[in-house]
Amino acid sequence: MSPFIIIILALLVVLGLVILVIFSNESNTIMQSKLNEQENRLNQMEKQLQLQNDVSYCMSHIQTNDLDEAWYCFDKVIENPNYYFEPEVLEQYYETRNAELAQINSVNYGNCNLTDVQKMQINSLMNDDSITPSVKFSQMSMIHQSGCN
């Protein structure tokens, strides 16, 4: 065999190895990308499962007629930074929650000796969007406890 043919064969082998390495790197990149996508989907599924568990726990308070604890529990779920809720869902939740609390308050007004000041405090809390729902809930509970004992 002539040295020229040996050189050409050697170059072809080297070229083949270079092409193999390039395809191997592209294949690894594609596989890593697919693994990342799968991991992201798995993380989302884990968050959804945890959200379902949290909501189920909150629902258990409704089954035991502990509505105050149920609303408090739902507020904690809503405030959890690991969960994302569409603005429309949050708006509907707070409308429903505030209407329910207003109804509870109107019933409690009849059953308790709340002063006009306490009633105004509760109404003010209901309309105050600057504080978190859990703080709002705890403050309203303290006002009710002081007037209903």
Amino acid at 11: L
Q: Same domain for 149 and 121?
A: yes
d(CA 8, CA 11): 5
pLDDT of residue 101: 73
Burial of 98 (0-12, 13-18, 19+ CB in 10 A): middle
Residues 61 and 74 grouped into a single domain: no
The pLDDT tens digits of the residues spanning 81-134 come to 888 878 888 888 888 877 777 776 665 555 567 777 877 887 787 777 787 766
Helical H runs in 64-132? 67-79, 87-111, 116-127
Cα end-to-end distance, the chain, whole Å: 107
Distance, CA of 146 to CA of 149 (rounded, Å): 6
29 and 82 share one domain: no
* Number of independent structural domains in the chain: 2
Give the range among 5-9, 37-41, 49-53, 62-66 with minimum mean pLDDT: 62-66
Domain boundary among 30, 49, 65: 65
State which residues form the domain around 146. 67-149
Q: Which whole-number Å values give the CA distances from 88 to 91, 94, 128, 130, 139, in the listed order?
A: 5, 10, 19, 19, 26
**pTM of this prediction exceeds 0.85:** no
